[in-house]
Chains A and B, each alone.
Chain A
Amino acid sequence: MKLSDIKDLLHAEVVVGQDKLDMSVKAGAASDLMSDLLTGQNNNAVLLTGLCNVQVIRTSVIAGIAAVVLVRGKQPTQEIITQAREHGLPLLSTPFTMFTSCGRLFSKKLRGVDEKISTPVHSR
């Protein structure tokens, strides 16, 4: 899914990365726990998070996250914006909640980073 599609689906404001809206993201991840992002394969995923601090940017860079979307209309501080710019990491802000944001992207076929996990028996 293109970052421009994510921007439109989430009615998001682009804080950093207006020039990168053409980029494609492979999957979606949603977490307020930075430790979780470091334990999975999150390469080229878009991260939805309610956490709004500079460690979101650093963790994303280390984990290979392609773009970050802050949920519930959170506005990043200047320090967060500077870090995102420095690392070329697109940063968006959506008025939707985490749940709604995930649902809007999932309904348009963006899948989680755990797509390869087989479907549990009980849901077949």
Chain B
Amino acid sequence: MTDLIKIFSIKARDFVKAGEGSIQIQSLLKSIGFDTDLIRRISICAYEAEMNAVMHGGDGELRLMVDPKEIVLEINDNGPGIEDIDLALQDGYSTATPEHREMGFGAGMGLPNINKNADSLEIHSDNGQGAHLKIRFEVQNS
């Protein structure tokens, strides 16, 4: 039973709004009072995934699910998908355009950084069927 579900829409190539959902997630988790480092890891993963969807993917949504033991982020977009997931998980591998780099992104560190900050990361992407990420974080109760 999930205690809280929040859904934020993602619009492809909308660099003006890109990242707003992740900032709302960060602020929501702060107001609930989770551990600071856990919030940092979740916010970074949400933001990296949201920026990836805006830059490389299609329209989609960012979903936050909170329960007492686990916090899950799901990011689904209807873009072209990820051609080679293993390659995309390597530090520095990038398919970014000059526009992405002008925005300060596209260094090929997004997915690897999500992988480092998450307790588990599942990526599904069939050819032409968008990208689907499920990112889990354990909640350590003190």
Spell out A's residues near B (CB within 8 Å). 32-36, 38-39, 43, 51, 53-56, 58-59, 61-64, 79, 87
Give the chain B neighbours of A54 by CB distance below 8 A. 15-16
Give the chain B neighbours of A87 by CB distance below 8 A. 23
Spell out B's residues near A (CB within 8 Å). 15-16, 18-20, 22-23, 26, 40, 43-44, 47-48, 103-107, 109-110, 113, 116
Give the chain A neighbours of B16 by CB distance below 8 A. 54, 79
Q: Are the CB atoms of B104 and A58 closer together than 8 Å?
A: no
Contact of B47 among A36, A53, A56, A59 (CB under 8 A): A59
Q: Are the CB atoms of B44 and A34 closer together than 8 Å?
A: no
Subset of 11 A-B contacts with CB under 8 Å = A34-B103, A35-B107, A35-B110, A36-B107, A38-B109, A54-B15, A55-B19, A58-B18, A58-B20, A58-B47, A62-B22
**B47 to chain A: closest residue by CB:** A62
Give the chain B neighbours of A53 by CB distance below 8 A. 15, 103-104
> When A54-B16, A58-B47, A63-B44 are in contact, do A34 and B113 touch as well, CB less than 8 Å?
no
9 residue pairs, one from A and one from B, having the closest CB atoms: A34-B104, A58-B19, A35-B107, A35-B109, A62-B47, A51-B104, A62-B43, A38-B44, A55-B103
Give the chain A neighbours of B18 by CB distance below 8 A. 55, 58
Shortest Cβ distance from residue A54 to the other chain B in the assembled complex, whole angstroms: 7
Give the chain A neighbours of B44 by CB distance below 8 A. 38, 62-63
Give the chain B neighbours of A35 by CB distance below 8 A. 104-107, 109-110, 113
Q: Are the CB atoms of A58 and B23 closer together than 8 Å?
A: yes
**A56 to chain B: closest residue by CB:** B104
What separation, in Å, do the CA atoms of A55 and B22 have in the docked complex? 12
Q: Are the CB atoms of A55 and B15 closer together than 8 Å?
A: yes
Q: Are the CB atoms of A33 and B47 closer together than 8 Å?
A: no
Give the chain B neighbours of A51 by CB distance below 8 A. 104
Q: Which of A51, A61, A63 has the most CB of B within 10 A?
A: A61
Give the chain A neighbours of B107 by CB distance below 8 A. 33, 35-36
Shortest Cβ distance from residue B83 to the other chain A in the assembled complex, whole angstroms: 20
Contact of B23 among A36, A56, A61, A64 (CB under 8 A): A61
